[in-house]
Structure 1
Amino acid sequence: MFENRPDRDAEVVLLGRSNVGKSTLMREITGHQFNTGGKPGVTRSPNHYDWASEDFVVTDLPGFGFMSGVPGEQREQIKTNIVRYLEEHAPNVLAGVVVLDGKAAIDIIDRHTNEEEIPHTVELYHLLRELDIPAVLAVNKMDKVDDADERLDDVADRFGLLPPWKQWQDTIAPITAKQGQIEPLEQAVRAHLEAAKRDDLKKFF
């Protein structure tokens, strides 16, 4: 399932729990329609979108976490595949975008935090950092959040970034993908492409 990556040097990946809006965001970035569904776990294998004339691909990796009708073993396998994919392609990944549901993310993180367990999204974010992949937290569905600054400060805090969140605008990007409001994410990704000396790719964001 994870073997169909196009032979491209540069890559931006989207990651996150099921049903946070990754496929909708992918559609906004690429202008290309992907299968999105109200049911978690629609994307089970990576969606790659590459531009024929450019040595570049955007990849929407499968969602993880609870999926209705998907056995726990299979959910774990998806997570393992995501980690392996990142480890294998890390030198080529210019940005890893962890997509969060702005309304639910803090509750989910806090619910899964105990002595033995780090929440999956926090773990993934730190994995990106360990692999030297520039990480961006795309906090989606912000149209459903009343206290935006407070919520984004909480996000910063849970991911080990000292609030206020506004000092992390290359890392924390509040968006509403469904309404096409993704400019903060585009700016953050462009900053990382610039840092990688890939100004040629900034036109895609």
Structure 2
Amino acid sequence: MFEDRPDRDAEVVLVGRSNVGKSTVMRELTGHDFSTGGKPGVTRQPNHYDWVSESFMFTDLPGFGFMSGVESDRREEIKTDVIRYVEDNADRILTGVVVLDGKSAVDIIDRHTERGNVPHDVEMFGFLEEVGVDPIVAVNKTDKIDDLDERLDDICDRLGLFPPWQQWSDTVAPICAKRGDIGALEDCLSERFHAHNRDDLLKFVS
């Protein structure tokens, strides 16, 4: 179980599969480098980043799903811990950012669906909505996608959002974190902060 959560009354959580670039997104949001291990699944505890003077933090939750070299029981434990963390802190979480690898997300979702499983990404998006956390989908690695509009439409479709994706621009944010291109995500975060009457936090996403 995750421990040592800083005592902050507002939080943005990042969730997603291993190797989708969550730590890079976190670095771009905070200006702080969370060095990741060379292999997926290395992050087993949340990475919190908070400010001394602010009752607010960004939290990068451990990746879930397939991780090479990690036993399936351990993978399930991590996912359960992530879900429990969000449930326990839902009233403090202003939004949950589901980070996807834009290039592979649709294929992975379809593969799981064909096997009769609910894909983790779809499950997490729905779960955030269920616990009252308004989700944002950060579609990362857009530099590797040729037909971006079509890909974003497909992702919306898999998440139960009616395409075209542009009508969900307050929810779906195409980004390329490694190039520092996270403006669409910052715009979505700004909207969530404003909706929660927390305009004092806008300085963290501008």
Give the drift of 1:42. 2.2
Q: For this pair of structures, how many residues does the alignment match?
A: 205
Q: Which deviates the most, 111-120 or 12-21? A: 111-120
| CA distance in structure 2 between the aligned counterparts of 1:38 and 1:156, rounded to whole angstroms | 31
1:190 partnered with 2:184: no
Q: Match of 2:176?
A: 176
Q: Match of 1:39?
A: 39
Name stretches of at least 5 consecutive residues in structure 2 with no aligned partner: none
Q: Match of 1:55?
A: 55
Q: Match of 1:154?
A: 154
Cα 1:178–1:60, aligned 2, differ >3 Å: closer, same or farther? Answer: same
Give the drift of 1:3. 1.0
Give the drift of 1:37. 3.8
Give the drift of 1:178. 0.2
String of CA shifts for 1:92-128, please: whole Å, max 9, x gaps. Answer: 0001000000000000000000474210110000000
Give the drift of 1:63. 0.2
- Correspondence list, 1:1-205, <5 A: 2-114=2-114, 116-205=116-205
Give the drift of 1:39. 2.0
Secondary structure of residue in 2 paired with 1:99: strand
| Percent of residue pairs identical | 64
- Contact kept, 8 Å, 1:19 with 1:38, in 2: the verdict is no
| CA distance in structure 2 between the aligned counterparts of 1:199 and 1:42, rounded to whole angstroms | 35
Secondary structure of residue in 1 paired with 2:39: coil
String of CA shifts for 1:56-91, please: whole Å, max 9, x gaps. Answer: 010000001111211110000000000100100000
Secondary structure of residue in 2 paired with 1:80: helix
Letter in 2 for 1:25: V
What's the Cα RMSD here? 1.0
String of CA shifts for 1:127-175, please: whole Å, max 9, x gaps. Answer: 0000110100000000000000000000110000000000001110000
4+ runs of 1 displaced by more than 3 Å? Answer: none
| CA distance in structure 1 between the aligned counterparts of 2:7 and 2:178, rounded to whole angstroms | 30
Secondary structure of residue in 2 paired with 1:87: helix
| CA distance in structure 1 between the aligned counterparts of 2:39 and 2:181, rounded to whole angstroms | 23
Letter in 2 for 1:183: G
Give the drift of 1:43. 1.3
| CA distance in structure 1 between the aligned counterparts of 2:37 and 2:158, rounded to whole angstroms | 28
TM-score (norm 2): 0.97
